[in-house]
């Protein structure tokens, strides 16, 4: 089941630069998208979300962009900081699913170097 | 900030034994979930729970699995007869509206 795909398993970025993480989905019924950050030995921590009625949502250093026609979303982190080094998961839920289960991508390991 | 707590952090069990994983969701949340992540694989949905009953379950959640909210605060996942392939991180999550908030997980190791 590959409804949510993160094709880049890893990303290395210099401190202060922009990190761009990508996510593609196949299910056109998805209407709510989330990004979670995960440190080792911890659970996923919610970062930012976007509803399908929007194409951009911003929260501090984090911005999520949604391109519905391309079934693509991206997370921008500006500027990247060493504490941003973690695994980032894209997740989605469908309007047809009343209970809101999440489908996850495989994750992207981000390493921010000094 | 309120958080979802899970115990134990690591559970080692012999194959064929029963195991119970425990979760305390955030107190005013109404929707509860279990997910698992096998090493090297995606986080997968197992089951959702609302109004004291299972609302949705995945194909993974077969007759060996059950969930319970026995006392209005704890939310448990029971595996009746564990298999080697049940070895994974198990995450509990809860929400009121959006988003889901996750616990730190229980690492289940089946020997």
| A2 pLDDT higher than 90 | no
pLDDT digits (tens, 9 = 90+) for A67-84: 999 999 999 999 999 999
What burial class does residue B54 get, using C-beta atoms within 10 Å of its C-beta: 0-12 exposed, 13-18 middle, 19+ buried? middle
pLDDT band at B1 (very low <50, low <70, confident <90, very high): confident
Q: Does residue A100 belong to the interface with chain B, where contact is any CB pair within 8 Å?
A: yes
Mean pLDDT of B27-44: 95
> Contact, B102 vs A45, CB < 8 A?
yes
| B61 pLDDT higher than 80 | yes
- Pairwise CA distance, residues A63 & A109, whole Å: 18
pLDDT digits (tens, 9 = 90+) for B89-108: 999 999 999 899 999 999 99
Q: Which of A49, A106, A107 lies closest to B99 in CB terms?
A: A49
**What pLDDT is recorded for position A1?**
62
- How many Cβ pairs within 8 Å bridge chains A and B? 57
**What pLDDT is recorded for position A96?**
79
Among A18-27, A97-106, B3-12, B97-106, whose mean pLDDT is lowest? Answer: A97-106
Distances (CA, A) of B23 to A28, A51, B41, B77, B103: 33, 29, 23, 8, 8
Annotate A25-63 with three-state secondary structure. ECCCCEEEEEEEEECCCCCCEEEEEEECCCCEEEECCEE
Give A90 to chain B, closest Cα distance, Å. 11
Six-digit token pair at B93? 């999550």
| A51 pLDDT higher than 80 | yes
Q: Does residue A69 belong to the interface with chain B, where contact is any CB pair within 8 Å?
A: no
């Amino acid at each position: 089941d590959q409804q949510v795909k993160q094709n880049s398993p890893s990303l290395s970025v210099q401190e202060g630069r922009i990190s761009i993480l990508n996510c593609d989905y196949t299910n056109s019924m998805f209407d709510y998208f989330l990004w979670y950050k995960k440190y080792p030995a911890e659970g996923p921590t919610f970062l930012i979300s976007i509803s399908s009625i929007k194409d951009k949502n911003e929260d501090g250093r984090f911005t999520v962009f949604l391109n519905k026609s391309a079934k693509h979303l991206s997370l921008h982190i500006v500027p990247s900081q060493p504490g941003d080094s973690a695994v980032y998961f894209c997740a989605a839920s469908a309007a047809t699913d009343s209970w809101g289960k999440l489908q996850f991508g495989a994750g992207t390991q981000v390493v921010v170097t000094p | 900030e309120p958080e979802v707590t899970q115990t134990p952090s690591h559970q080692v069990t012999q194959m064929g034994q029963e195991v119970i994983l425990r979760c305390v969701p955030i107190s005013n949340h109404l929707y509860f979930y279990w997910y698992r992540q096998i090493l090297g694989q995606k986080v997968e949905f197992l089951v959702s729970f609302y109004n004291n009953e299972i609302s949705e379950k995945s194909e993974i959640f077969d007759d060996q699995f059950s969930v319970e909210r026995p006392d209005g605060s704890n939310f448990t996942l029971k595996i009746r007869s564990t298999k080697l392939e049940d070895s994974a991180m198990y995450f509990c999550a809860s929400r009121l509206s959006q988003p889901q908030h996750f616990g730190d997980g229980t690492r289940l190791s089946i020997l």
